[in-house]
Copies of this chain bind each other. A is one copy, B any other.
Amino acid sequence: MLIVMDHNATAAQVRAVQQAVEAMGLQAAPIPGRERTAIGVLGNQGYVDDTAIRNLPGVRECIHVSKPYKLVSRDFHPEPTVVEVGAIKIGDGHPPVVIAGPCSIESPEQMLEAARIARDAGAQILRGGAFKPRTGPHSFQGLGEKGLKFLRQAGDAVGMPVVTEIMRIEQLDAVCRYADILQIGARNMQNFDLLKEVGKCRHPVLLKRGMSATLEEFLAAAEYILAEGNPRVILCERGIRTFEQATRNTLDLSVVPLVRELSHLPILVDPSHATGKRSLVAVMSKAALVAGAHGIMVEVHPDPAKALCDGAQSLDGEGFGRMMGDIRGLLGYLGY
């Protein structure tokens, strides 16, 4: 940490800051400059809580050099993490994974048909939502535990592992019973109690980036899960909220290579939620893979026009099949 003093801070103020740093068991190294004095803080392991410092008289700013995460950092864990889900491996050195399925589980028939479409086109993992976060209370809220059963049955029927979102801690037992991967949605990325609970599970966790989360906050959220003992975290970029309304969110694809520099965890991309437009899903999926994503997650529905949720961004069987054909060509270029 670097503590920057005011231009006209007194020598006594500088000394008081040094003493406060030392009282924390750390060392303080003053760096006198022409315009102002700064004080380097040494000896810390990881992020320093600056509360006792930044309120002292004469302190202008505390600049953090360490990050609020360490377990997820590649600096301290250089080997890539590969998350295994049955025979499927997600991470560096393995072909990118494709997760596909409907936004909402609507019925056994819809789910089974979606599963067949996903499998036939070549997806490896099936997705489907049983608990749905919706902006307004007057929209369809999901089938709940009944939906989990339909998802599991469809997955078993086609031989695919399944992933579904958990929205509250009480759902943990049920979701663990039916699903192979637990998904934490964007709205819950900073639901720290939920993060801690999934951190105590053995299931892999697919953690979606919050719509206004910085990359630093995203990695710090993953840190919550790892800190509880679960290292099987898969990150997922799904677009951030910006002033631009031409797409549902703004897909921040540059974080894919950046996450690969900063962290050892695998990272996927969800182009369906990011763009909100069916016509952009295939092309942005390919761009994501070229950017280095370890996989993609795509909304597929047997009949998008009748989907109870997010139909506008869902592909139908034909569209998904075409996209998967395209992607197979790309995998050759990528060396898989």
Contacts and interface: CB of A to CB of B under 8 A. Distances in A.
A47 B135 CA distance: 12
Q: Give this chain's copy count.
A: 4
Contact of A254 (B66, B69, B280, B310): B280
Nearest to A258: B246
A287 B52 CA distance: 29
Interface string A271-285: 000110111100110
B217 A135 contact: yes
Contact of A65 (B38, B140, B190, B191): B38
A247 interface: yes
Contact of A258 (B54, B169, B247, B292): B247
B304 A7 contact: no
Interface in A22-55: 29, 31-36, 38, 40, 42-47, 49, 51-52, 54-55
A161 to B, nearest CB: 26
Given A2-B2, A137-B223, A253-B287, A51 B309 contact: yes
A55 B244 contact: no
Contacts of A332: 333
Interface in A157-211: 167-170, 187-188, 190-194, 196, 211
B55 A312 contact: yes
Contact of A330 (B7, B290, B308): B290
A136 to B, nearest CB: 4
Contacts of A252: 242, 244, 250-251
Contacts of A66: 35
Nearest to A20: B305
Contact of A216 (B31, B241, B246, B254): B246
A302 interface: no
Given A42-B33, A75-B7, A192-B133, A274 B254 contact: yes
Given A35-B66, A168-B169, A305 B52 contact: yes
13 contacts: A2-B63, A2-B65, A34-B45, A51-B306, A54-B312, A68-B135, A136-B220, A136-B223, A169-B169, A214-B243, A253-B287, A257-B283, A329-B333
Given A29-B29, A31-B42, A137-B224, 18 more contacts: A4-B65, A31-B40, A33-B42, A35-B44, A36-B65, A49-B139, A49-B140, A52-B311, A135-B217, A136-B223, A141-B192, A214-B243, A241-B243, A242-B243, A247-B258, A287-B287, A287-B290, A332-B333
For the complex of A and B, the 10 pairs showing the least CB-CB separation, nearest first, are: A212-B212, A68-B136, A31-B40, A333-B333, A7-B75, A55-B305, A287-B291, A215-B246, A137-B227, A287-B287
